[in-house]
Structure 1
Amino acid sequence: MANLMPMETSSAPVAFEVVGLVVGDIGSSNVGRDIIIQDHSSQLQRISEKHPKFMSMQYPLLFPYGEDGYHDELMYRQRSSTSANQHQKVTMLHYYTYRLHDRPNDFNTPLRCKRLTQAYFVDGYCCVETFRIGFYRKPSFQSKYRSSSFSSLANSVSRGIASGSSVG
């Protein structure tokens, strides 16, 4: 009878359980999505959507080697045949667009996992849209535009002010 015990290696990580915790529900907060892990010292650590390992921790079957995903410091590769790029840093949208396409001589694991691939790209889309909305919520963006509450706009219209630029 063959020995069915797995071979042990000294560097292999060992975990006896994996737990996921969902806090809140959709729409209950504006903080985005994140992963909370417990490190070796039993401290909880938050991994945000902008962390390079976020997607590899979210989808360990797609990224078994813990490959880095999108992060703010990801740069375009410069080619000698083209002139300098307009943009030096890769946007999140361009990163996920790049991941979406298959290339010869490049085994793209996330494209070969059927439903898990769909979940990965939906998560990628949600990350892109979250950061787009976050851009519009920044005080620096908000301060560029004049705004007024609906009740003050309704009061202005009732007073006969028809030009929106004079109201706010």
Structure 2
Amino acid sequence: MSRPPLPPFTKETAIQKARMAEDAWNSRDPERVALAYTEDSRWRNRSEFFEGRAAIVAFLKRKWSTERDYRLIKDLWAFDGNRIAVRFQYEWHDADGQWYRSYGNEQWEFDERGLMRRREASINDVRIAGKDRRFHWPAPGPRPADVAGLSEKPF
């Protein structure tokens, strides 16, 4: 199985890969998301370290059971060969209705088939009031074309 676009990435294909990842994560479908990763993909997410698609699915199920009404925007930060770095923001609320905006950076490494074999994510959460939310579109689902990315809307 391959997952175009394939490395080595150009600016255009790196942007496309980041947007494809954003759309998949906004689906909140762990099995769909996991298909973009190698069978033995290695992850660091905050302080958690794990490996493999089954662990990715379990992680995402747990994540989206607590991070409710999740909406994510990713923007390309840098790329070289088979590596891409993105910055992102996402908003969500907990079971008590407290909203958060999570800020982060990810470093990705892809195999020759375009599957991600390594993902490292650093993320910080900030409490926000519901009135301060920036991301308003029907979810789960991809970000609409008329919703600006991060480069158009500063932190």
Question: Which one has more relative contact order, counting CA pairs under 8 Å at least 6 apart?
Answer: 2
TM-score, normalised relative to structure 1: 0.25
TM-score, normalised relative to structure 2: 0.27
Task: Point out the structure with the larger strand share.
Answer: 2
State the structure with more CA Rg.
Answer: 1
